[in-house]
Amino acid sequence: MKKWALLASVLALGAMSSASQARDLTITSWGGSYQTAQQDIYFKPFSEKVGKPVLDESWDGGYGVLQAKVKAGAPNWDAVQVEAEELALGCDDGIFEMIDWDKMGGEDAFMPAAVSDCGVGTIVWSLALAYDGSKLSDGPKNWADFWDVKKFPGKRALRKGAKYTLEFALLADGVPADELYDVLSTPEGIDRAFAKLDELKPDLVWWESGAQPLQFLASGEVAMAASYNGRITSINKTEGKNFKIVWPGSIYAVDSWVILKDAENKELAQDFIAFASQPENMAKLPEYIAYGLTNKEASSMVPDEYKADVPTTPENLEEALSLNIDFWIDNSEALNQRFNAWLAQ
Amino acid sequence: MTARLGPHLKASALVLPLVLFLALFFVWPIIAMLKQSVSDPVVHNTLSQTSAIAAQWNGKAPVPAALQDALVADIRATTDRQEMGAVVRRLNSAKSGFRTLMRKTRRAIRKTDGPINLGEVDKRWNEVAWWHTIAQASSPYTDRYLLAALDYGRDKHNQIVALPEDASANRTILARTFVISLSVMLSCLAIGLPFAMVIASTSGWLRNVLLAAVLLPLWTSLLVRTTAWFIILQNNGLINSALQALGITDQPIPLIFERTGVIIAMTHVLLPFMVLPIYSVLLSMPGNLMQAASSLGAHPIVAFLKVMLPLSARGIASGSLLVFMSSIGYYITPALIGGPSDQMISSVIAFYATESANWGMAGALGLVLLSITLLLYVVYGRLSAEKKGVA
Amino acid sequence: MTEQPYIEFRKVSKVFGSLTVVDHLDLTINKGEFVSLLGPSGSGKTTLLMMLAGFEDPTAGDILLGGSVLNRTPPYKRNMGVVFQNYALFPHLSVAENIAFPLKRRGVAKAEIAERVNRVLEMVQLPDQSEKLPSQLSGGQQQRVALARTLVFEPNVVLMDEPLGALDKNLREQMQYDIRRLHRDLGLTIVFVTHDQSEALTMSDRIAVFNHGKIEQIGTPQDIYDRPNTHFVAEFIGETNLIPVKYREGDHSRCSVTTKTGKDLEVTSPVTLFRGTEVLLSLRPEHIELGDSAEGLENAMPARISDVVYQGDHLRADIEVDGTKLVARLGRHLPPHDPGDEVFIGFRPQNARVILP
Ligand SMILES: Nc1ncnc2c1ncn2[C@@H]1O[C@H](COP(=O)(O)OP(=O)(O)OP(=O)(O)O)[C@@H](O)[C@H]1O
Ligand SMILES: [Mg+2]
């Protein structure tokens, strides 16, 4: 008799453990101080609200990573924050779930660039020229200065890849912002960008994860770097640095939440994205990190003190430009291939 | 009969897990990689009518109406977005611009059930080059990845031509991969051989300490070790601060983002693979051979050259091979410590796999790397076999 | 002999940490002499040999060769051939190459090398094995190659450290014979380490018995066997009966002692002692004679046989004399005795030797 009781309890335990094996909602973002902020204002409050644990992971981008996860079936991430290009590619490829816009509060509540079939924009961020104000009192003003190694000696750090790099090169070469993508769409324009890069090649250091340019700046390894604007403001705040952002010539883009196709917690992920898109939640972000907000109402709720550091503030937008996603989804592979070949030479 | 078969079967059963393991995690991935690098089924399968007609087409303008209609029909028939996504990816990778073109076209086709003039949807469809790309993609097998892996491609007459130098640098990177691996191997040898001899000649706690000094790096994660080297090698890092404090240099020597730094860090990481095989060969050698040589009149240097070196040859060879083969696949260390001209072939493979999801290209590069490695191994086998024959 | 010693150890000591392995040792060896170093494990034999070969430096004292101090000469300049216990053949070289090794180091011409290698291979009776690798040879063959490699360059001295330890009995005897023959034919000076006493006895001109880093006794095999000076040597070499007795009187070597039961015996002694000194009497088993009566026996004593064991070429008897147990080695031709038989034993005075306990 006892034996049977034991067996039954073992089976019950087994059933319980296999039930609890169901994966918790897993949200993947870009790590660093940004993700720390997200934990405070999105992940933890949402977890408390629904009474379920929420896991978060970080990644460094790469469309192949997402595609491989979806292709293999049962992806182990649910909601992922992606860049605009990954959103467009993935949406074309059908590796993301469709967004239930009614849950999100309607498409009109957001700025137009934040709305897509498969993603909800969550921040506007910039890749901008940054330097250490405590080392350079009269710092660079634009990308032409970035290229000027006589006036500003030292190495420079750029984000590894063709995207942004080619734009910056053309801006440095004097191409006006509004003609940039027209020039870049011609073979001559591409050659021109690479020729400009050739000039600076010996002084360039390439970074792949967002924390690296800050490290390089802090250690004095480089004199200037292209960096995510939000990280610059955070490190100034948390570590008392005096890193400066040069807004003219910065390129901004929207990052969006997507849900991987057939993810186990796709329903809950929709709820999470809706939660993170609510104005009162979103409006807390600039206090932590200086990114622009996509929800119109949230934008209007941001206190004035944070506005100076946010890419979407009109003064900062004045000479900034928007990343052309269509250009990049068409040309990313060919240009990156050429960029890699150029790097390797 | 059964009595004789029994033990045999049991023995086979014992190795079965190993065989299964090898098949599952070694043979199968290689076959999958091979297949990935030559198969190109997406356009053939998804745009099946288009492919059939494209095969008949002589490639001359104007584009046959049947081909255009077939494309429209194929796009209409494909409801699976992932499937169509793969087609678009494949076409855009051969010719930039297909992505926006197809997006526009699909949107137009979705709007109506009637016939569609593609030239009106987007004037690019009037250019024959876009159709050539579809035609070239319509065979289920392709050599384009393998060709591209070696910096070759096909021109519009379908002839194999070298790609322009600034468009593809795989051969350069492959050559560099071998140069770096060779340098790492040699520096591991230069440090590892004397070190192994020192360890073998000691005993007791001293030997344990020395062995631990080699083994310890194996017990820390590669990333941690590489990061540590980053800190040590940077301009205001340990080495440069020390050199400057000692007044040896007044400018920091560039070590980080340089080949030197990569080789130093990789040598450190791979040193155990050189030391351990040599050490084990030395251990299996009688301890008094050097004494014997010197009693026979050999100066210590001669004794080293004539006795120690030939006897450690086996360890040196397997250590070198291990180090060389491992460095060929290195990725993290060159990525973090090296500059752009120190990147090795793995980082290119990683780019295709994780960034652009171009599995064909990743597979083809992997295959090229595997073939060259196997070739080197065969050469090595030949050489060492000949040596034995002479001795 | 008035010959000047060829090898000379003068107050040589070797200390490893706190362990004194060789202790103020004096030893001289003449040219052409075959000297065995015999002693228990750890007594310092190998260390002494290694110092002679130059692999170890003496902590104190001097080693001389032909009258000049060797201490600072590196091993490769000493021209001493060493045959190691494990042969130490170079595994990657063929037999011929192994043997040619010392000749090449001395810049001997190619043709001469070939000739000398062949000659020495004949000498060790391995003429057809020259192309083989050491691993393809038997233990005895490897041993002979090692010997050939040492002999080929005609060294000043040949040092052998238990060279026969790994061989079976027949092969060992064959090799013992070969080495002796070569020693005789070539006039070699050989220092031979062994802890096999019968090997030392059969091969050596002189034997140095080692104990705790010191030489207990050095002498010809006969000296050592028949006239051990110390308790240790008597016990270590061969088998002996040690009988506690009291010294009575004597002059020079001949003397008399008294047993526990008060019987006086005529024996020999290396030294003259005070009357009543307690000493031991060493009596080899084969020197005990047996008789049915005391008649015809020197130092005759009544005894009782407690056991007899057949040993092939001889009989071994346990005998009790006045409550003392002795071992005797008896010829097979003697009339059979059974346990319990009452007999007499005796021995010649020159065969019983007084030693200090
Ligand atoms: N290099 C060394 N370091 C420390 N102690 C040593 C060393 N070489 C020898 N000894 C010690 O010296 C002592 C004598 O050693 P040795 O090898 O001379 O003895 P042996 O008489 O040859 O003995 P065996 O018959 O066992 O070969 C031993 O106690 C040994 O442990
Ligand atoms: Mg020894």
- On whether the CB atoms of residues C97 and B310 are closer than 8 A, the answer is no
Residue A182, domain member (yes or no) = yes
Question: C161: CA distance to ligand 1 center in Å?
Answer: 12
Give, as one character, the DSSP assignment of residue A129. Answer: E
Residue A104 and residue A79 in one domain: yes
Asked if A220 and A292 sit in the same domain, the reply is no
pLDDT at B11: 77
Please report, for residues A115, A315, A327, B68, C21, the alpha-carbon distance to residue B100 in angstroms, rounded to integers and kept in the order given.
Answer: 18, 33, 9, 18, 90
What pLDDT, on a 0 to 100 scale, did the predictor assign at position B386? 61
How remote is the C-alpha of C164 from its chain's centroid? 13
Give start-end residues of each CATH 1.10.3720.10 domain in chain B: 170-390
Can you say whether residue C125 is alpha, beta or left, with left for phi > 0 and alpha for psi between -120 and 50 degrees? left
Give yes or no: residues A170 and A141 share one domain.
yes
Pure H helices in A21-112: 32-38, 44-50, 63-72, 84-93, 101-104
Q: How far is the CA of B275 from the centre of ligand 1 (A)?
A: 30
Q: Is C325 exposed, middle or buried (0-12, 13-18, 19+ CB in 10 A)?
A: exposed
Structure tokens at A126: 């910039």
Stated as kind and residue range, the H or E segment containing B319 is helix B309-328
Phi–psi pair at C67, nearest 5 degrees: 95, -10
Is A262 in the same domain as A171?
no
- The CA-based angle B19-B22-B28, given to 5 degrees, is 120
Do A135 and A119 fall within a single domain? no
A109 & A130 share domain: no
Domain shared by A62 and A152, yes or no: no
* C-alpha C135 to ligand 1 mean position (Å): 28
- What's the ipTM? 0.80
Asked if residue A73 has pLDDT above 90, the reply is no
Question: Beta strand pairing status for A292-293 and C254-258?
Answer: unpaired
Question: What is each CA distance from B360 to A214, B32, B136, B319, in whole angstroms?
Answer: 36, 11, 16, 33
The SS3 of residue C254 is strand
Instruction: Check residues A226 and B166 and name the one with the higher pLDDT.
Output: A226
- Asked whether the beta carbons of A80 and A30 are under 8 A apart, the reply is no
Give C41 Cα–ligand 2 centroid separation in angstroms.
Answer: 7
Report helix, strand or coil for A18: helix
Q: Do chains A and C touch (3 or more CB pairs under 8 A)?
A: no
- Model pLDDT, residue B61: 78
Is the residue at A10 inside a domain?
A: no
Distance from CA of B384 to the nearest CA of C (A): 14
The answer to the question of residue A326 being in a domain is: no
Structure tokens belonging to residue A16:
């319980």
Instruction: Sort B18 into a burial class: Cβ within 10 Å, 0-12 / 13-18 / 19+.
Output: exposed
Using a CB-CB distance cutoff of 8 angstroms, which residues of chain B are in contact with residue C84?
288, 291-292
Give the residue, by CA position, lying nearest to ligand 1 atom 28: C42
Rounded CA-CA distance B385/A174 in Å is 64
The confidence score (pLDDT) of residue B245 equals 87
Q: What local confidence, expressed as pLDDT, does residue B2 receive?
A: 47
How long, in residues, is chain B? 391
pLDDT at C1 over 60: no
Please indicate, yes or no, whether residues A163 and A191 belong to a single structural domain of this protein: yes
Instruction: Determine the number of helices (DSSP H) and then strands (DSSP E) in chain C.
Output: 8, 20
C149 closest CB neighbour out of B296, B300, B391: B296
| Model pLDDT for residues A178-211, shown as the tens digit of each residue | 999 999 999 999 999 999 999 999 999 999 888 8
Q: What is the tens place of the pLDDT at every residue in C254-303?
A: 889 998 888 899 999 888 888 888 999 999 999 999 888 888 889 999 99
Q: Is B57 helix (H, G, I), strand (E, B) or coil?
A: coil
Mean pLDDT by 10 residues, chain B (391 residues): 62 85 88 90 92 88 89 91 88 90 91 88 92 90 91 83 84 92 96 92 90 85 84 84 86 85 92 93 88 93 92 89 91 85 88 85 91 87 64 39
Query: Residues lining ligand 1, CB < 6 A?
Result: C 16, 19, 21, 39, 41-47, 195
Q: How far apart are CA C159 and CA C192, in angstroms?
A: 6
Count Cα atoms within 13 angstroms, Cβ side, for C136.
Answer: 10
- Kindly state whether residues A135 and A226 are assigned to the same domain: yes
Asked whether residue A15 is assigned to any structural domain, the reply reads no
Chain B neighbors of A89, CB-CB under 8 A: 89
DSSP-derived pairing of the beta strands A156-159 and A204-207: parallel
C-beta separation of B267 from B184 below 8 A: yes
pLDDT score recorded for residue A14: 44
Which range, of B351-355, C4-8, C100-104, averages the lowest pLDDT? Answer: B351-355
Kindly list the residues of chain B whose beta carbon comes within 8 Å of any beta carbon in chain C.
Answer: 285-286, 288-289, 291-300, 302-303, 306-307, 310-311, 313, 391
Would you say residue A130 lies in a domain? yes
pLDDT for C253 beyond 90: no
Average pLDDT, rounded, for chain C: 90
Q: Identify whether A59 is part of a domain.
A: yes
- Cα–Cα distance for residue pair C195/C200, rounded to 1 Å: 8
User: Best mutation site among C18, C19, C21, C52 for ligand 1, i.e. most ligand atoms within 8 A of its Cβ?
Assistant: C21
Say how far residue A315 (Cα) sits from the centre of its chain: 22
Q: Which helix (H) or strand (E) holds C63?
A: strand C60-65
Bridge partners, A127 (sequence order): A228, A251
What phi-psi label fits residue B242: left (phi over 0), alpha (psi between -120 and 50 degrees) or beta? alpha
pLDDT at C218 (0 to 100): 95
- In this prediction, residue C172 carries a pLDDT of 84
Domains of chain C as residue ranges with CATH: 7-232 (3.40.50.300), 240-355 (2.40.50.140)
DSSP-assigned states of every residue in C181-224: HHHHHHT--EEEEES-HHHHHHH-SEEEEEETTEEEEEE-HHHH
Q: Hey, whose CA ends up nearest to atom 12 of ligand 1? A: C21
Using alpha carbons, select from C248, C247, C323, C233 the residue that is nearest to residue C280. Answer: C247
In degrees, rounded to 5, the angle at the alpha carbon of residue B91 between the alpha carbons of residues B90 and B93 is 70
Proximal ligand: closest to the CA of B203: 1
pLDDT in tens, C330-350: 887 767 778 888 899 999 998
Q: Are the C-beta atoms of residues B118 and B71 closer than 8 Å to each other?
A: yes
Report pLDDT for A7. Answer: 44
Q: How many residues does chain A have?
A: 345
Which residues of chain B lie closer than 8 angstroms to C53, CB-CB?
291, 295
Together in a domain, A88 and A163:
no
CB contact under 8 A, C84 and B293: no
- The span from the CA of A153 to the CA of A224, in Å, is 10
Atom 30 in ligand 1: residue holding the nearest Cα: C42
Number of H helices, E strands in chain A: 19, 10
- What's the CA gap between A234 and A303, in Å, rounded? 17
Q: Which of A242, A223, A222, A229 is nearest to A317 (CA)?
A: A229
Give A239-289 pLDDT, tens digit per residue. Answer: 999 999 999 999 999 999 999 999 999 999 999 999 999 999 999 999 999
More confident call, C250 vs C24: C24
Q: What CATH number is given to the structural domain containing A209?
A: 3.40.190.10
In this structure, the answer to whether residues A37 and A113 fall within a common structural domain is yes
> Are residues A189 and A72 part of one domain?
no
Q: With contacts defined as CB-CB under 8 Å, which chain B residues touch A206?
A: 339-340
Contact A130, A226 (CB under 8 A): yes
Give just the sign of the alpha carbon dihedral C329, C333, C339, C344: negative
C79/B297 touch (CB, cutoff 8 Å), yes or no: yes
- CA-CA distance, B89 to B77, in Å (whole number)? 18
Cross-chain CB nearest to C86 (options B286, B300, B303): B286
List beta partners, residue A260: A96
CA-to-CA distance for C310 and A300, rounded, in angstroms?
A: 118
- Print the domain residue range for A65: 23-124+254-317
Instruction: Indicate if the pLDDT at residue A157 is higher than 90.
Output: yes
- pLDDT reported for residue C261: 86
Query: Is A17 domain-assigned?
Result: no
Tally of domains within chain A: 2
> C38: which strand partners?
C194, C209
Residue C64 phi/psi, 5-degree rounding, is -120, 145
Any A CB within 8 A of B252 CB: no
Q: Among A199, A220, A251, which residue terminates a domain?
A: A251
Identity of the residue in C55, C84, C106 whose CB atom sits nearest the CB atom of B297: C106
- Per CATH, the homologous superfamily of domain B170-390 is MetI-like (1.10.3720.10)
Query: Has residue A16 been placed in a domain?
Result: no
| pLDDT digits 0-9 by tens, A1-39 | 444 444 444 444 444 444 446 889 999 999 888 999 999
Tell me how far apart the alpha carbons of residues C351 and C275 are, in angstroms, rounded to a whole number.
Answer: 21
The residue whose C-alpha atom lies closest to atom 5 belonging to ligand 1 is: C16
**What is the structure's pLDDT at A11?**
45
